């Protein structure tokens, strides 16, 4: 079981390295252990999280892929579905019958789902009742607080390898760390397009 899990995780991480979802990167926290990962998500354009860099801590259980990974935000975030400890309320992070995790899901699915949750919070299934209430009944105040938290907590560096689209060049130039712009170009062009 452990060898199969390790083999699958290596394949998933290689796929995430080669062709990451837009605005996502993931890597082992310690190269000697494949069951403890870190990830970064870039806040999507048009959301209060736009331009923020959000770090995630991912732990892979022994029974993966039959059990979902345990994921939580390391970066504080003002969101109805994320509590103050960084725990995330999301169906794909829960085993059935309470959740929707299936062994066919993978790390890319999880990270993309979390990124979507940033764009589309679900206040009806919130972890933070006060933030959920504010999101439903006082959206301008929620947006203002969420943007403030991004400025205060999520203005860190992007790890090299985060895939960004052409329209996000301005956002990535403001970041301190290098961001590799990946598109349809050849590998020589990609190497020459590192934004600092």
Annotated catalytic residues are 89
Q: Report the side by side order of strands in the sheet with 33-42.
A: 24-30, 33-42, 53-59, 70-73
Structure tokens at 177: 């760390």
| DSSP string computed for 137-180 | H-HHHHHHHHHHHHHHHS--PPPTT----GGGHHHHHTSSS-EE
- Compute the distance between CA of residue 24 and CA of residue 158 in angstroms, rounded to an integer: 10
Of 177, 151, 159, which Cα lies nearest the Cα of 23? 159
Contact 182, 163 (CB under 8 A): yes
- Compute the distance between CA of residue 70 and CA of residue 175 in angstroms, rounded to an integer: 28
Rg, Å, the chain Cα set? 17
């Amino acid at each position: 079981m452990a060898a199969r899990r390790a083999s699958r995780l290596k394949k998933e991480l290689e796929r995430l390295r080669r062709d990451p979802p837009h605005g996502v990167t993931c890597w082992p926290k310690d190269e000697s252990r494949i069951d403890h990962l870190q990830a970064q998500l870039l806040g999507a354009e048009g959301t209060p999280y736009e331009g923020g860099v959000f770090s995630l801590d991912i732990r892979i259980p022994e029974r993966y892929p039959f059990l979902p990974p345990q994921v939580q935000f390391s970066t504080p975030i003002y969101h109805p579905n994320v509590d103050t400890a960084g725990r995330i309320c999301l169906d794909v992070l829960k085993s059935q019958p309470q959740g929707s995790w299936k062994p066919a899901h993978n790390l890319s699915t999880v990270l993309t789902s979390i990124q979507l949750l940033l764009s589309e919070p679900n206040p009806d299934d919130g972890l933070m009742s006060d933030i959920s209430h504010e999101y439903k009944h006082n959206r301008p105040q929620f947006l203002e607080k969420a943007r403030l938290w991004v400025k205060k907590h999520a203005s860190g560096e992007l790890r090299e390898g985060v895939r960004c689209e052409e329209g996000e060049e301005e956002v990535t130039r403001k970041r301190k760390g290098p961001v590799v712009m990946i598109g349809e170009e050849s590998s020589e062009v990609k190497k020459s397009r590192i934004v600092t």
